Structure 1
Amino acid sequence: MSRTTTKTEESVRRVPGKACRRDGSPQREEKEAGVERFLRSLPVFVGTHRTAIHSAVFIVYLAVVVTVMCFHEPWFDEAQAWLIARDCSWRELLTVRTHYEGHPPLWWMLLAVPAKLGMPYEWGLKGVQLLTAALMIWLLEFRTKLPEILKVIMPFSYFLCYQYGVTSRPYALMIAAMFLVAINWKNRDEKPWPVVLSMMLLCLTSSYGIVIAGLFSVLWVFDFIRSDKSLFLNKGRFFALLALLVLAICLIYAIRPIDGTSTGAIGESDDDINSPAIRYLYIWLLLPSETMFTSYTGDSSLETVDLSAGAFLYAAAISIMVWCVIGWICRRRNMLRLLLVPYVVLSVIFMMYFSMHHEGIILGYFLMILTIACDVKELGMADVPRQLLKAEKDVAEKIGNSKFLWYKAMLCCAGLSVMFIGVYWNVSACACDIKYDYSSSRYVASFIKDNDLEKYKWMSGWSRITEGQANAKVKQMIRSGEWYCAGEECVDFTPWIEGTLLISNPYFKSNLIGNSYENQTYLSWEWMKDPQRARKDIERWRSSEEPEFYSTIYQPFYFSDLGYKRNDYIKFHVGTRITPWKDSRTKKDTDIYIRKDIYRGVLHSPDAGIKWSDGSKIK
């Protein structure tokens, strides 16, 4: 007897040997099983091809950094370091500049080799930087036991690739030293010299490095005194730590600020400066998020960071999650002190001085802690909290294992996409640097060389802080009457010059800046040495002829206080720079003032198509 197949019966029909959908097609369980097999085979594949993957990441990293370096125009910090290395004597480099810059001299010593040998500026600067960046990533890829996903993603994150890879500063070497400390930390008692030498390198790279190495050493000493009941039981360890202590004391003495050194944000009013409590809060609840996940700040000082309540709360939530994850991993390995004690002390140092490009140091610190943790015991399922595993099991039983695997895969992809935020910043910054001028250094130098203008007199504007702009310290200086100002209710810092000519100085053998402090090619921070220095400088400049070229922003006093006539000059647009910070960009024009007789006679007649930015016209 025939029988009509109902919809219900059709939905449960099964093809022999196969699972089917309700509509009779093969059910998705096979696909889900395939996903499960893929997820399980992935670690096997990575383990089998680990060396090839690491080598590929390392090669691609170097290719990216070298490519962007070719387009990158060095900015102030890069030029300043090169000029100090090139033009200071070894004695001054080791014993004088350290007081005013606040940094150990190792980075200048490395740059001094190509600089004093006469290598071209960008070749020498970027060659040294490339070596330190390569060392940093080589250690990350081939010597640490960090999870493979971090080894693939982190080399292309914003700070490790662009900020500390492309731009030339000592931070790549600093993070490399952190990795060396972490790699040797486990065997520190049996082999103390490798970890101590790594700490010495960390001390030599940055004043922050002295703090980190010092706190690690203190915790190490507490640990072995508690276990050995003696400071001298292991003589090799004792003498290694003693050598580290001697180096640290020498470096602290070398970098201590001396009388006349400018420190802090003297150009900011108290209303714009965050209180110590706000800064401390930001260090714990903002900066961890800013290293990889959020971009609420520019490359400014921590003292002047201004956030909305919503932005801070979101960044704080991310930062708390970061602390919870790293804290949980460290707690399981009895490493909480190693994570928290150095950061507590670092926070106090950061409150005194911290620029947002130092965020990468915090990222490096977290990676160092994770490297030590993974060396103690590699990350695995045992690190997942039991409550989370139980919840996972309950959800799988409730919705079915197949559906749960899909949800788990999607959640993993979402988490992975969050990790790629730093990669996105890096791509954005690299693309911007390739397409636009990062700084004015190269096009200003080209303008001078192409027009044979080096032989003329160039001057830079200086810094004047009025009482309305000043903080309490500068207001006290103004009201004391001891500090000179050619105007009213202000103070002039003539050694603090405008930076356009300075960052182009490395392209020339002679000093472009005709009014620099003591004829120095670099910026000296000796602004506070002589209250009457500005009077002497301004009187000397007034007594000399008007310069042919004047690099300054337009303020009437830059001309009137020196007896110059604004109408004697043409404002000339040299170029435009667009500087990236994560996924944002800052655009700024570079203008200089050219004396009209030089403009007519040397640079030829005015181009009728030029629109002068301040409306100036030849008279």
Structure 2
Amino acid sequence: MEIKKEKNSLLSGLTVLIIYISGLIFVGCFHEPWFDESQAWLIARCASFKELFTYVPHYEGHPPLWHLILSVFAKNGAPFDLTIKAINITFSAAAMALLIFRSPFPKAVRYILPFTYFFFYHYGVYCRPYSMTMLAFMLAAITYKNRNSKPWRYIFSLTFLCLTSAYGIMLAGGLCLVWTFEIISELHRGEKLSLFWKDKRFYALCFILLTAVMLLIMITPADDCFYGGVENKGSIIEILTRIKNYGTVIILPFESWSGVMFSLNGEKEYTSIFIAEIIIGALIWLTLILITRKNRKFAAFFVPYIIMTAFMAFHYMSAHHIGISGLFHVFIFWIMAEQEGGIQLPESFVKIRNSFGSPFIRKVILGVGVIICLMPVVYSIGASYMDIKGECGISKFAEIIKDNHLEDRKIMTKWSVKYDEGTDNVFKVLEIPSVHGKIESNSTYLMGDPVMIQPYFGKNIFMNFNVDRPDDLYMHYIYKEDPEAVFEKWREKGLPDLILDYCPIDEVYDAETLEGVKYLPVYMLEYSVFYKLDFNNYYERLYIREDLLGEYPQFKWIDDQRGNIYERK
């Protein structure tokens, strides 16, 4: 009977894992790589091995492991889409296999967790180093129980965690700090503190400390590094006195599962939702504190977690990082569940549960809890559906450029422009040039479009992208620049033949050069960017210079859909 039960459990687990992998492959067939995925691949392809260690980490903020793995394939001509997805699915599948077959959770938990938003879509379909972070957490959880008798297994798992992301370094550092105090306390009680230097755990901790220091030196941001996420700017006093930062710390545990306050564009300005999430988040914090205290894992939970959440709230984060919070929750409950007797509930929880004498009230509370817990699965399904349904990026332009043999034409792409906030219309007609809003600043180093298109070409096809480093197809996050000096290098190449998306080219070329010049929109792409169930639609157009339109009869002039005619500049 026991053998049959184990066989059924194995079959059901394999079925869940196969469904998970099949789901990743199916959605991945439709998934269009986003900027970060393309950027990583281009770095792996173009940067030298020396740059992967000494230059890239200072601007990307990640240890070099992900880029090194990709470089094995990218530098040898492997196809972009297929390869990066296969690598990511391999790490994700390995992580979920450990969760399904090795974790001490009930079947319902083991079989549902792989399909939650971050475990399935954001870290499984979306190809980033966080698939490795998932695997590292599972390995760390497995090796935690025997960390004192077999410390090197645990340390190697935490070292792997450090190599996957900066947040991995924080969490591993917090866990090692707590473990160090546990070891010292243990030796002190046994009056063997003087033997600490001979303990194999000491050498294991020294190893990860040296590794972490080396990685921190690598990823310390350069002075001219541009931050692409949500960065808190200002003096230390200003940052510490921003009440909202403390609110962000409170909501992060809920946000990593069912919360909706964050999007890829940052934190939303919805006061009512923010207050509601603070209440729920505070309850989750209280629950985590009480349960970890009851199970003698408070320090292991609180020290690493407060370091990470404080860094996120008070310094820097993006939506991609939030799922790491959920991974750490799984790790903490895993190590508590593997203790003798499993997870123990605090007496206060038992009293509260018993105080609800009515079966109906208990069912209502259970139902609400189940709905909240299943929301991450809903987010996963929603994101997958949106990815399958339509365009989620601009690589379609790569297809257009290839099919029409435009790669040898002079193609200009948009750069980041900050317009005056009081401007009513950024630009008034679809053609280029046109009357547009007042420009406050130009950031010619910020060009996302080329990064999502270049993986499909063997050379830099954009005349104004990386003019100082034309062989580098990835974006350099270097914000200290002289835009006018960059514009001069663009002018040396003459007028563009085609323009990808709207560009205020009158910032680059003078009125005499632009006299009689007109660029007409000949293709419009609608695409979506989404996070959980939050999504935004964007439109980008391909322009061709009017005198070249006759050479490409396949292109048609897109008129202003509103039928309005504005004064041209």
Fold match, TM over 0.5?
A: yes
Point out where structure 1 has 5 or more consecutive residues left out of the alignment: 1-44, 470-486
Aligned-pair CA distance for 1:231: 6.2
Query: 8 Å contact 2:420–2:439 — kept in the other structure?
Result: yes
Give 1:169's aligned residue: 128
Give 2:221's aligned residue: 257
Matched, 1:434 2:413: no
The number of residue pairs the alignment matches comes to 538
Q: How does 1:409-428 map to 2 (within 5 A)?
A: 411-428=365-382
1:281 to 1:571, Cα distance in 2 relative to 1, 3 A = same
Which moved further from structure 2: 77-86 or 107-116? Answer: 107-116
Which of residues 461, 468, 474 in structure 1 aligns to 2:414? Answer: 461
Tell me the alpha carbon deviations over residues 329-375 of structure 1, each in whole angstroms, 9 at most, x when there is no partner. 21112111111111222233212110122111111111111111112
Give 1:480's aligned residue: none
Matched, 1:358 2:310: no
Give 1:580's aligned residue: 530
Give 1:600's aligned residue: 550
Tell me the alpha carbon deviations over residues 165-219 of structure 1, each in whole angstroms, 9 at most, x when there is no partner. 0010011211211221122112111101001101111111001111111111111
Query: 8 Å contact 2:294–2:346 — kept in the other structure?
Result: no
Aligned-pair CA distance for 1:101: 1.1
1:574 to 1:490, Cα distance in 2 relative to 1, 3 A = closer
* Distance (whole Å) between structure 2 residues aligned to residue 608 and residue 318 of structure 1: 49
Aligned-pair CA distance for 1:132: 1.1
Aligned-pair CA distance for 1:232: 2.9
* Distance (whole Å) between structure 2 residues aligned to residue 596 and residue 269 of structure 1: 45
SS at match of 1:357: helix
SS at match of 1:286: helix
Aligned-pair CA distance for 1:58: 1.0
* Distance (whole Å) between structure 1 residues aligned to residue 51 and residue 352 of structure 2: 64
Aligned-pair CA distance for 1:427: 0.8
Aligned-pair CA distance for 1:248: 1.0
Q: How does 1:102-501 map to 2 (within 5 A)?
A: 102-228=61-187, 229-230=193-194, 232=196, 234-263=198-227, 276=240, 277-301=242-266, 305-350=267-312, 351-377=314-340, 379=342, 383-390=344-351, 404=359, 408=362, 411-441=365-395, 443-465=396-418, 490-497=440-447, 499-501=448-450
Query: 8 Å contact 1:501–1:551 — kept in the other structure?
Result: no
1:282 to 1:507, Cα distance in 2 relative to 1, 3 A = farther
Aligned-pair CA distance for 1:570: 0.6
SS at match of 2:127: coil
Q: CA RMSD in A?
A: 3.1
SS at match of 1:172: helix
SS at match of 1:295: coil
Aligned AA (2:319): M
* Distance (whole Å) between structure 1 residues aligned to residue 329 and residue 345 of structure 2: 19
SS at match of 1:437: coil
* Distance (whole Å) between structure 1 residues aligned to residue 43 and residue 252 of structure 2: 31
Aligned-pair CA distance for 1:613: 9.5
SS at match of 2:119: helix
Aligned-pair CA distance for 1:324: 2.7
Which of residues 449, 454, 458 in structure 2 aligns to 1:505? Answer: 454
1:540 to 1:384, Cα distance in 2 relative to 1, 3 A = closer
Query: 8 Å contact 2:105–2:334 — kept in the other structure?
Result: yes
Aligned-pair CA distance for 1:516: 1.9
Matched, 1:534 2:483: yes
* Distance (whole Å) between structure 2 residues aligned to residue 98 and residue 391 of structure 1: 49
1:421 to 1:379, Cα distance in 2 relative to 1, 3 A = farther
Tell me the alpha carbon deviations over residues 547-581 of structure 1, each in whole angstroms, 9 at most, x when there is no partner. 11112434364464594458421123342112332
* Distance (whole Å) between structure 1 residues aligned to residue 67 and residue 403 of structure 2: 30
Matched, 1:553 2:510: no
Query: 8 Å contact 1:200–1:247 — kept in the other structure?
Result: yes
Aligned AA (1:456): R
Aligned AA (1:337): A
Which structure is larger by alpha-carbon Rg, 1 or 2? 1
Aligned-pair CA distance for 1:307: 3.3
Aligned AA (1:425): Y
Aligned-pair CA distance for 1:255: 1.0
SS at match of 2:539: strand
* Distance (whole Å) between structure 1 residues aligned to residue 541 and residue 5 of structure 2: 54
Aligned AA (2:399): S
Aligned-pair CA distance for 1:48: 7.8
1:590 to 1:124, Cα distance in 2 relative to 1, 3 A = same
Query: 8 Å contact 2:231–2:316 — kept in the other structure?
Result: no
Query: 8 Å contact 2:226–2:478 — kept in the other structure?
Result: yes
Query: 8 Å contact 1:264–1:353 — kept in the other structure?
Result: no
SS at match of 2:544: strand
SS at match of 1:578: strand
SS at match of 2:409: coil
Aligned AA (1:372): I
* Distance (whole Å) between structure 2 residues aligned to residue 278 and residue 614 of structure 1: 47
Tell me the alpha carbon deviations over residues 402-452 of structure 1, each in whole angstroms, 9 at most, x when there is no partner. xx3x764564344223211111111111111111011112x1111111111
* Distance (whole Å) between structure 2 residues aligned to residue 296 and residue 493 of structure 1: 29
Give 2:541's aligned residue: 591
* Distance (whole Å) between structure 1 residues aligned to residue 108 and residue 334 of structure 2: 14
1:326 to 1:51, Cα distance in 2 relative to 1, 3 A = farther
Query: 8 Å contact 1:513–1:521 — kept in the other structure?
Result: no
Aligned AA (1:586): N
SS at match of 1:227: helix
Query: 8 Å contact 1:548–1:594 — kept in the other structure?
Result: yes
Aligned-pair CA distance for 1:259: 3.1
Aligned-pair CA distance for 1:524: 0.1
* Distance (whole Å) between structure 2 residues aligned to residue 466 and residue 394 of structure 1: 59
Point out where structure 2 has 5 or more consecutive residues left out of the alignment: 188-192, 423-436
Aligned AA (1:284): V
Aligned AA (1:602): Y
Identity %: 29
SS at match of 2:87: helix
Which moved further from structure 2: 212-221 or 225-234? Answer: 225-234
Q: How does 1:4-15 map to 2 (within 5 A)?
A: none
